Amino acid sequence: MTQTDDTTPRTVPIQSETFSNAVNAEIRRAAETGIYDIRGGGAKRRVPHFDDLLFLGASVSRYPLEGYRERCETSVTLGGRFAQKPIELDIPITIAGMSFGALSGPAKEALGRGASAAGTSTTTGDGGMTPEEREHSDKLVYQYLPSRYGMNPNDLRKADAIEIVVGQGAKPGGGGMLLGQKISDRVAEMRTLPKGIDQRSACRHPDWTGPDDLEIKILELREITGWQVPIYVKVGATRPYYDTALAVKAGADVVVMDGMQGGTAATQDVFIENVGIPTLACIRPAVQALQDLGVHREVQLVISGGIRNGADVAKAMALGADAVAIGTAALIALGDNDPKWEAEYQKLGTTAGAYDDWHAGNDPAGITTQDPALAARLDPVDAGRRLRNYLKVMTLEAQTIARACGHNHLHNLEPEDLCALTMEAAAMARVPLAGTDWYPGKPGF
Amino acid sequence: MQTYDLEADGLRGLNAALHAQTNQTRWEIINPKGSHAIAVGLDAPIDVTVKGSTGYYCAGMNQQATVRVEGSVGPGVAENMMSGEVIVEGDASQYAGATGHGGLLVIKGNASSRCGISMKGIDIVVHGNIGHMSAFMAQAGTLVVCGDAGDALGDSLYEARLFVRGSVKSLGADCVEKEMRPEHLALLETLLERAGADAKAEEFTRYGSARKLYNFDVDTSAAY
């Protein structure tokens, strides 16, 4: 064997794709602490998404609308199937359910202010309805969750709609967790639990199982509220065709489908990254279910999970959704992960844009915290203004695209307006690969 | 006394009438025939008697009212009750008193599984036996069982108080037998009297949370 010396060419160190630095760090962390990693937010892994779709725009075969002269409507009505008072929104972008407890009081107030100023709805979360969010939300959707923390018929009757939460995209099949450090006196009182304990939220409802029971539960809620307000059913995206069909069968007015990029306040990282399907993959099967049952547009479909801009809104609606919901993006608009707090993110061992320890209660931006000093950093009026602006921009962006495709209402966007950049996106969205008339699974090929 | 024929006049009319703020304070519902959602969402100090058995969620989310069922009830009787009283002369199916925040639920027969699941302040007195997984994740309030309890009583229990006169097939995670102190005997005597139960407080055993699962610990992870 020949002896090597300093001049002998050598291989460069190669990091393993399988055992990457991030993977190895997690192994060491688990070995040291003996507990799985809990974090907030949705899936961070790369998955097929709206970025993998493009609009075709107008051409010889279609003519566009003049952007500054011809109107493009944005209103949407949710819940007209059975409710006597469906929700009328100016824009098809709603605020997803996020709890007081997970979020600070000022953050909840800001969500209500911003949504109301933009003409849309906001949603309560685990833990019930606070007077502040009811006061600042013109249209408030009351979540009916497995834990029933803070569940109160008086609040139920104050709601503009009821959302029965079966699951959420970040953790379909999983319950919730609010760690003890965020259980302030007020949060503990609202949830009827001791201060400082880790609060587990059940993964399934305590008094019904399965679609036949759900139908009876919906009947009960309608009887209590006099058939006045819409009832949504929210599911985490897993089996979108069947879940949508069963929700419709059970009597839902609105189906909310949340993809795996949808955020959570606190769940195991392994759950967030490995359970559920991408938002892009759940829309067409859900729409198909509605069409097969003859209720597309009669039962509205709200899509959430990774909606960031007007293009995402327009793409979701072109695929058949009636509206979208945003959570993570709304928090960013309020000020979450803002680089102005970089020095404090560094102290927490992270960086702006990557901060996801929403369960820990140390949020420098004052949003995912119950610490009074941190929460005071968020001005609900100013944060509400930012959210309102952001919602307006998203709407303008979606209108711009719709006009370019020749539509005078966002609801007129259709799959034929789209093409896909990748095979995966083409298969999931069931729109042709760009420059072709083919997508995987297309009948006749 | 106002009599309402549920079979003839329908559920919507019944609940609308019970929700209306009128001078009528005593109601009798005939021909319930196992219907669901009877007398739900009441919020007035009225007395309602159901002459027969009911389906799911009878007296759900009750406030102030007294609802008496002269028969048996389906799943979720008095679910999420806030106040008032619900008395069942017969047996109750699953989830009796689930998530209830207040008031008194009396079941004079037996209650099935998950009785008092996630209860948050309600008092429940069962004259007979209860099924498995009862008081699962129960947060607050009192569950009194004059008969026997099934498997996994009080699993993942929080601060609810459990009293059983008969045998307990097994205790759930973090549920333990506890000392019966004078204040517990006094509480029990009051509830037994209010529920019309023929039992003595001294005959009962108290169970509660060991509070070992309140904060995650890897050394107890198998219990979760």
All domains of chain B, ordered by start, with CATH? 34-213 (2.160.20.60)
Taking residues B194-207, report their average pLDDT: 97
Say if the Cβ atoms of A224 and B43 lie within 8 Å. Answer: no
Structure letter (DSSP) for residue A341: G
- A364, A354 Cβ separation under 8 angstroms: no
CA A284/CA B98 separation, integer angstroms: 37
Structure letter (DSSP) for residue B68: E
**What pLDDT is recorded for position B218?**
65
How many CB pairs below 8 Å do chains A and B form together? 104
Say if the Cβ atoms of A216 and B117 lie within 8 Å. Answer: no
In chain A, residues with a C-beta closer than 8 Å to the C-beta of B41 are 153, 157, 223-225
**What pLDDT is recorded for position B2?**
96
**What pLDDT is recorded for position B7?**
97
**Nearest Cα residue to A84 out of A231, A220, A217:** A231
Q: How confident is the model at residue B21 (pLDDT cuts 50, 70, 90)?
A: confident
Say if the Cβ atoms of A207 and B98 lie within 8 Å. Answer: yes
Question: Between the CA of residue B28 and those of A183, A395, B108, what are the distances in Å?
Answer: 45, 54, 20
CA A251/CA A208 separation, integer angstroms: 15
Q: What is the maximal distance between C-alpha atoms in chain B?
A: 61
- A201, A149 Cβ separation under 8 angstroms: yes
Say if the Cβ atoms of B117 and A35 lie within 8 Å. Answer: no
- Spatial neighbors of A442 by CB under 8 A, at least 6 apart, are A430, A432
Q: In Å, how far is B113's CA from the nearest CA of chain A? A: 11
Say if the Cβ atoms of A206 and B117 lie within 8 Å. Answer: yes
Range B5-28 burial, b when 16+ CB lie within 10 A, else e: ebeeeebeebbeebbeeeeeeebb
Say if the Cβ atoms of A223 and B15 lie within 8 Å. Answer: yes
**What pLDDT is recorded for position A236?**
97
* Token pair belonging to B129: 């036996």
B131 touches chain A (CB under 8 A): no
Q: How confident is the model at residue B72 (pLDDT cuts 50, 70, 90)?
A: very high
**What pLDDT is recorded for position A184?**
80
Q: Which among A37, A181, A220, A227 is the top mutation candidate for probing chain B, defined by the most B β-carbons within 10 Å of its own β-carbon?
A: A220
**What pLDDT is recorded for position A416?**
96
**Phi, psi for residue A278 in degrees, rounded to 5:** -65, 155
Mean pLDDT of residues grouped by 10 in chain A (445 residues)?
A: 74 94 95 90 97 95 88 97 98 96 94 98 93 95 95 97 97 82 80 83 93 98 98 98 98 98 93 97 98 98 98 98 98 97 96 94 95 96 98 98 97 98 98 96 82
**pTM here?**
0.95
B206 touches chain A (CB under 8 A): no
- Run of H or E including A155: helix A153-158
**Phi, psi for residue B125 in degrees, rounded to 5:** -125, 120
Say if the Cβ atoms of B214 and A197 lie within 8 Å. Answer: yes
In chain A, residues with a C-beta closer than 8 Å to the C-beta of B114 are 206
**What pLDDT is recorded for position A67?**
81
Looking at this protein, which amino acid is placed at residue A33? T
**What pLDDT is recorded for position A222?**
98
**What pLDDT is recorded for position A4?**
64
B159 touches chain A (CB under 8 A): yes
3-state SS class at A386:
helix
Q: In Å, how far is A210's CA from the nearest CA of chain B? A: 13
SS (H, E, C) chain B: CEEEEHHHHCHHHHHHHHHCCCCCCEEEEECCCCCCCCCCCCECCCEEEEECCCCCCCCCCCECCEEEECCCECCCCCCCCCCCEEEECCCECCCCCCCCCCCEEEECCCECCCCCCCCEEEEEEECCCECCCCCCCCCEEEEEECCCECCCECCCCCCCEEEECCCECCECCCEEEECCCHHHHHHHHHHHHHCCCCCCHHHCEEEEECCCCCCCCHHHHHHC
**What pLDDT is recorded for position A194?**
84
Domains and CATH numbers, chain A: 43-429 (3.20.20.70)
Note the ipTM here.
0.96
**What pLDDT is recorded for position B216?**
72
CA A107/CA A203 separation, integer angstroms: 26
**What pLDDT is recorded for position B222?**
62
Name the residue of chain A whose CA is nearest to B38's CA: A220
**Nearest Cα residue to A253 out of A221, A285, A301, A207:** A301
In chain A, residues with a C-beta closer than 8 Å to the C-beta of B113 are none
Say if the Cβ atoms of A207 and B75 lie within 8 Å. Answer: yes
